[in-house]
Amino acid sequence: MQRSKYMETLKGGYAVSFEISPIWREAFSLAWDAFCRGSVPVGCVVVDGEDRILARGQNAIYDDEIRTPLAGTNLAHAEMVALSKLRNSEHNPRLYTLYTTLEPCPMCFGAIAMMGIKQVRYAARDAMAGSAALTAATPYLRSKCIHLEWEDSPLEVFQIALATAFELNRKHPKQQQLLELWESDCPVGVHVGTALYQRGDFHTAVRERWEFEQVFARVMTNSANVREIGRGGGLYEDSAF
Ligand SMILES: [Zn+2]
């Protein structure tokens, strides 16, 4: 699969490059668009066996204007929006793979099961609402044989950084609990998301209509300057951060 390279030069003058596949690029572009439009930053694409994109979705729970009948409702999660575009008369979801930037919640996991999707890949774990564990929750769900795969890549850092910035801005009552749970899996993502939010980088990116690649490179560059100390999740920032 063709991969794109993105580069950003650090303060010290050396460059860091990152690669991302076209499918993940599309999913994260949708997540970034959702962020810019004031909804939860999650994106989703469904592909066939030849990696052709058949359906796209982005979270639109606060977005009445985006084109989906679910817009502006609590059903408008990225996965639900994408799955709602697959017609029984045209599609065979059993052969498809769903890519989502964040581990599916119980609602989306249920929809994935009922649609007959067998393969799911997600970029970031969600210790709050993530429901990958439901694959074995009941005899019925076990019979579905859904294979969920966490990608274990820098994409998790980007997703958690973006989601952290969104939650700091949204000021949800469960914000602290949410950030602590995400930090348990991905401390760098929460740390970088918080730092860039407080520095105003996300506001600048939205105001100046940055493309996904530009935001991705900014988050990754700053992540490269942070390293974990020990298993306790403590973080160290070097002078370039
Ligand atoms: Zn969901």
**Rounded to the nearest whole angstrom, what is the distance from the C-alpha of residue 109 to the centroid of ligand 1?**
7
Q: Does the annotation mark 228 as catalytic?
A: no
At residue 96, the pLDDT reads 98
pLDDT tens string 90-149: 999 999 999 999 999 999 999 999 999 999 999 999 999 999 999 999 999 999 999 999
Q: Please choose, from the candidates 85, 72, 89, the residue with its C-alpha nearest in 3D space to the C-alpha of residue 111.
A: 85
The neighbour count for residue 16, using CB atoms within 10 Å, is 15
pLDDT for the residue 233: 40
- The phi, psi pair for 144, rounded to 5°, reads -75, -20
8 A C-beta contact, residue 78 and residue 58:
yes
Residues with a beta carbon under 5 angstroms from ion ligand 1: 77, 105, 108
Give the pLDDT confidence score for residue 4 in this predicted structure.
55
Residue 124 to residues 8, 42, 57, 76, 88: CA-CA distances in angstroms?
Answer: 23, 10, 17, 19, 29
The whole-number pLDDT of residue 7 equals: 54
Q: CA angle, corner 184, sides to 180 and 189, nearest 5?
A: 85
From ligand 1's centre to the CA of 82, what distance in Å?
Answer: 11
Instruction: Enumerate residue ranges in the chain where pLDDT < 50.
Output: 1-2, 10-15, 228-241
pLDDT of residue 125: 98
Amino acid (one-letter) located at 48: D
Rounded distance from Cα 14 to ligand 1 centre (Å): 39
Give the model's pLDDT for residue 13.
45
Report pLDDT for 14. Answer: 44
